[in-house]
Amino acid sequence: SFLPVAKCSPYLISDDRVRKLDITPVLGRGYSIMTDSYHSTCLMVEDTTPPSYNYDYTFYEFTSQTETQRSLGGKLKKSFGFWKVKEEYSAQASSTSKTSSQTHMVVAVMRIERYYSSVREEVSPLSDDAKTLLNNQDYVGFFKACGPNYVRGIRRAQEVTAIFRFQSSSTEVAKSFSAGLKVSGWGQSIETSFASKSKFSQVRSSLSIKILGFGLGLNEAGSDTLVATSLEEYNEVMKFAFKSFTQSENSYAIGMVYGMEVVPWVDNSAFQVESKLLDDDILIPVPRSLIPKAPCKNANYVEDSNGYCCDPLQLYDTTTSTYTDDGANPSANICRVQRGLDKAVAKENMSANGEFVARLDAAMRYKLVQLSTMEKCISAANSYPSDYDDNILLPQDSVEYNEVIDASYSLMHLKIALDPFGDYGLVRHMAKELDEYIDMFYSPCLAALFGMNIDVTPDTEARFFAAYPWHTHDECMHLSCLATNMRWDRENGGCVPSLILGTSSATYG
């Protein structure tokens, strides 16, 4: 696998990452691009920009192969109900092959999109807890809690999809009925009188209408009309949908999230003020290749012990890890020239380090959850007496599994796999792996990000967090340790497969 790439200022997401129904994108909430995870809401959104709307009401015909290909290959693919429509069409094709009358289908999609709903950052302050973290210069704590980015804008969509299915022995009659639906349905309702013609008697008797709603509000007047068995009832459904889309009290905040704009915290003015990111100058050493060598052309420069030239105030005493006050004895010291780091580079370094901290935290959290889940599972298995050892285990309803390769596992099989000696040996071993992972990778990497391994005093230097990006620290470049089910390699450094992977794991040296 490859390490995810983080893009900044801003980053637009309009795919399934924001359309999952088990997460809640909220304006001002933290988000990590590298881990695709949401964090706490640290920006108090007081006001938003008024959204704009796009409205679309389209019919799609499935009465011929040409029309079907045109419909499935067009903008219907972008609708929320596309996969259900495709499923219905497959069922239609299967049923048509078994009867003399052909089953036809027409799909109507009413959709409204809201965009430009964005945070008004000039009136949206940081939360008090987030300010406290930044005032204490606890950048790691801030990015763990609030994420490296936040949601600045959300695009929402609401949709009602209606699937008309009917049977007709004549293709011409089916096309005529479909044309009648489309011609009379360009408004909010269908003129039902055309369907009363005698040639449509078979169509009327077999007509079924399936309604699919996406992103609708609850407890709204008329919501009980979302079931239609006739064209008249279908008209009531679409009238309710249009009213719900445009006239509800909180319609601007209702709907499925269709896309969002993500912005790094370092680009937020409130963050810059509270973090004091731009207040202090960050000085970093100049590479030795850029320091002039002796003989010194500048009369004010002195020569150090390695033959480099610099200002006397840039002489560095390696024994005391301090700069000397004068150049009285330059041959005993070295030139350690410093330059100010550009503010824009400092911002990018902090943003990149924030993303990496989120990735590092996700890897650590996975190991902690794995250990606690394993202990819970083994304890539950051992709590059953031996009389139950031959009982067959069944998967929970919430667990997805492949029925094709479904096998029978008894309670004894589970005990032997997880705790063969009944002494929680696997739990103890995994706990030792976790401790070693923290000591050899996690803690040294965080220390390197804060410069705690620089000079003679292991103190946290907050400005160092913005001085260098994470990939310049050797302690953080053991990228194999960011994968799941890995442990520290005692022989070669880095990480190798953990004992939890069974026979595929490396020998524990």
Q: Residue 430: which pLDDT band, with cuts at 50, 70 and 90?
A: very high
- pLDDT at residue 358, rounded to an integer: 93
Distance between CA atoms of 377 and 414, rounded to whole angstroms?
9
- pLDDT at residue 104, rounded to an integer: 84
Percentage of residues of the chain with pLDDT beyond 90: 33
Largest Cα span, the chain = 111
Angle between helices 139-146 and 128-135 (to 10 degrees): 150
Distance between CA atoms of 477 and 470, rounded to whole angstroms?
8
Taking the CA atoms of residue 277, residue 283, residue 284 and residue 289 in that order, the dihedral angle to the nearest 10 degrees is 140
Between 168 and 189, whose confidence is greater? 168
Angle at 453 between CA 447 and CA 455, to 5 degrees: 150
Mean pLDDT confidence for 366-388: 93
Residues 92-121: tens digit of each pLDDT: 766 655 555 688 888 989 999 988 889 999
The tokens for 474 are 């050797």
CB-based burial label for 295 (10 Å; 0-12, 13-18, 19+): exposed
- pLDDT at residue 401, rounded to an integer: 59
Mean pLDDT confidence for 465-488: 93
How far CA 398 is from CA of 17, 394, 395, 401, 411, in Å, comes to 21, 12, 8, 10, 20
- pLDDT at residue 431, rounded to an integer: 94
Task: Using the predicted structure, report yes or no on whether residue 334 has a pLDDT greater than 50.
Answer: yes
Distance between CA atoms of 476 and 61, rounded to whole angstroms?
57
Residues 466-475: tens digit of each pLDDT: 889 999 999 9
Between 61 and 457, whose confidence is greater? 61
Task: Using the predicted structure, report yes or no on whether residue 371 has a pLDDT greater than 90.
Answer: yes
Mean pLDDT confidence for 177-192: 67
Task: Using the predicted structure, report yes or no on whether residue 458 has a pLDDT greater than 60.
Answer: no
Mean pLDDT: which of 104-108, 168-172, 353-357 is highest?
353-357
Residues sharing a CB contact under 8 Å with residue 381, sequence separation 6 or more, in sequence order: 411, 414, 415, 418, 419
How far CA 405 is from CA of 181, 402, 408, in Å, comes to 47, 6, 10
